[in-house]
Copies of this chain bind each other. A is one copy, B any other.
Amino acid sequence: MSDEQPDMPELKIESGSGAGATVEPLQLGKRLRQIRHNMNLTLEEASQKTGLARSTLSKIENEQISPTFTAVQKLAHGLDIDIPQLFAKPKSSMTSGRRVLTKVGEGTSHPTSTYEHELLSTELARKKMIPFKTRVRARSFEDFSDWVRHEGEEFLLVLEGEVALYTEFYEPISLQPGDSMYYDANMGHGLVSLSERDALVLWVVAR
C-alpha cells in the first residue's frame, strides 16, 4: 500500500573542490545548522549544551562571524560531534551517491568445507566494508589448520544457531542469536557451530 511520494527536500551536494586559488569553500555554518536540525535542537538548547550564546550560534550558522577554535571545541563537545568529521569534506572513496540492493539469497556464494559465505554487495568496488552472511559448518576448532588472520576489524552478529568464537589470546566465547562481537582481525580467529545444525551469522569486515 502506501506511497505516493512525498516531495523530497532538495539540498544540493556541493561538489567540493572549488578553484584552487581561493581558500576552502567549506560551509561550516550550513553544516552546523544541518547537524543541529538533525538533532532537533533549538538555538537555545544548543546554547545550553555548548555554553555559547544563542546569538553567537546564530551568527556562526549564518556565516556572519568566524568562530574561534575554542568556540568550535565547545560546539563539538556539546553536540557530541568530533572535529575531524566536522571539517572533513563531504567526499567518499566510494563514488558518491551510489547504492546497491541484495535480495535475500541473491548474494554470490563461496562454499568451503567449514563455511559457506554469501557475499552481499559485490557490485560496488572500493567500498570500506565487506558484508557477508555465513553458514557455519565447522563443528570444532580442529577444523581449522591455523588461525584466520588479516588486516582490519570485524563485526559479527549471530542470526541463527549457537556459535563459539575462538580468538587468540582469549578463551573461546559462546554466542546466541542476537549477540554480537567486535574484534581486531589481526588477532587470529575462527568460528564453529555449537549445535547440531549449521549456524548463520552476519559478518562485516572493514579494512
Where the two chains meet, the residues of A that have a C-beta atom closer than 8 Å to any C-beta of B are: 1-11, 13, 23-24, 26, 28, 34, 37-38, 40, 66-74, 76-77, 83-85, 87-88, 90-105, 112, 120-121, 124, 127-129, 131, 139-142, 145-153, 155, 157, 159, 164, 166-188, 194, 202, 204, 206-207
Contacts and interface: CB of A to CB of B under 8 A. Distances in A.
B140 A182 contact: no
A7 B173 contact: no
Contacts of A92: 151-153, 184-186
A126 to B, nearest CB: 10
Contacts of A6: 140-142, 164, 166, 171-172, 174
B182 A124 contact: yes
Contacts of A67: 68-69
A124 B181 CA distance: 11
Contacts of A97: 168-169, 184, 186-187
A186 B13 contact: yes
B173 A98 contact: no
Contacts of A179: 101-104
Contacts of A90: 149, 151, 186
- Which of A90, A128, A166 gathers most chain B CB within 10 Å? A128
Contacts of A202: 157, 202
A173 B11 contact: yes
